Amino acid sequence: MKERIPTYEVITFGCQMNDHDSEVIAGMLESLGYEPAASTGEADVILVNTCCVRETAENKIYGLLGRLAHLKDKKGDLIIGIAGCMTQQPGVARKIKNRFPQVDLILGTHNLHRLPELLLQARECRERVMEVWDQAGEIVENLPIRRASRVKAWVNITYGCNNFCTYCIVPYVRGRERSRRPEDILNEIRQLVQEGYREVTLLGQNVNSYGKDLPGPTSFARLLAEVDQIPGLWRIRFTTSHPRDFTQELIDTIARCPHVCEHIHLPVQAGSNRILKLMNRGYDRDYYLDLVERIRRAIPGVAITTDIMVGFPGETEEDFAQTMDLVERVRFDGAFTFVYNPRPGTPAARLPEQVPDGIKSERIQKLIERQNEITLAHNQALVGRVEQVLVEGESKTNPEMMSGRTRTNRLVIFPGSSDLAGQLVNVTVTGARLTHLEGKLAATV
């Protein structure tokens, strides 16, 4: 009788960094002989990769653990594990262990590479395992990865963050900034190209500060120029950029590198100098506006997206008005907008004048409404144009349509056959929605 292959599911919360960590988790599990489960109920191992940037994410995770606990009560041999940023917070791992006895394995961000050993210990010894390191060690290279796409790939260039924005928990749960060696990054991308990948996104909490902890004349601009020269690579993206470290050298490098896409995610967070200072962002609104102008002057057709927070402690109506004014001046192509909520352990959580929830709600709705109008106007201006699209596969909402992205990172839905996946095609834009463009196939590039 054929031996049954054990199965797994990875459930991910959070940012692109977490998405990539989940690819590594899946890779390690498959290296142990597991394969993806058809459904949550059929999985032998469920690993939850957590986020703690916002309170809403934590609440969702606790709710999920409750549901998984009920599943384990019915399926006693199920292994439930939890990893990621949430468990790295002081006291949280212990809280989860005490509140959810059905959770078998708890680990953090710094020891993700230890998953195979810890999982084996939990399964073979039938004991609960909790291992969360206080500090990050050396970067562990060559971990197995099961990538979610066959066309585009995430590539970490840094881990951790040195910025210590007063509202942000990331430096405390991801550790101080550590850069990968350029040769390791370049070798990984060359291997990806050999495997058929055509686009890479360079990942870091602040990619612009890449290399500051490495010896020699290393910078993000120099790394970007080297990646651009890799044969067979069609597109290069990166996220996230901190405005403070966005140098003229980097702008010029993006402008002259043909494979670097014309899309820059540049979180501003607020338009008020007083709030920016309280946030410890390291720049003011005039600097940011000048930076945007220099980027647009050097890179024609560039799309600029951003993150904007409302309701930071002490934010007045005048502060919020300055944020709205900055939105009008820049006219972002898109924005991730969110309400401030205090993260225990961050300086902002201890600030006076916390903004009432009702005021936060009013402000975020006003911001979202205006930014949606601007985003839709940007998209509508593209109707009738021909855009180069890297086809990623079938549309998630309509399997009869194909989907891909422009160089400016706009999603495009169009009729086509599945054999177009992984190809560059020209698409005539026939319609524009808030979240995507509609089009028809023109010709292959």
Q: Is 161 annotated as a binding residue?
A: yes
Q: Are 201 and 405 within 8 A, CB to CB?
A: no
Distance (Å, rounded) from C-alpha 149 to C-alpha 392? 8
Place of tokens 């899309």: 263
Q: Is 15 annotated as a binding residue?
A: yes
Helix axes 220-228, 248-256, angle to 10 degrees: 10
Q: Is 165 annotated as a binding residue?
A: yes
Q: Is 51 annotated as a binding residue?
A: yes
Distance (Å, rounded) from C-alpha 402 to C-alpha 394? 4
Contacts of residue 414, defined as CB under 8 A and 6 or more positions apart, other chains included, come to: 389, 401, 402, 403, 427, 438, 439, 440, 441
Q: What does the block give as tokens for 315?
A: 């934010």
The residue type of 74 is K
- Annotated binding-site residues read 15, 51, 85, 161, 165, 168
- Annotated binding-site residues for [4Fe-4S] cluster read 15, 51, 85, 161, 165, 168
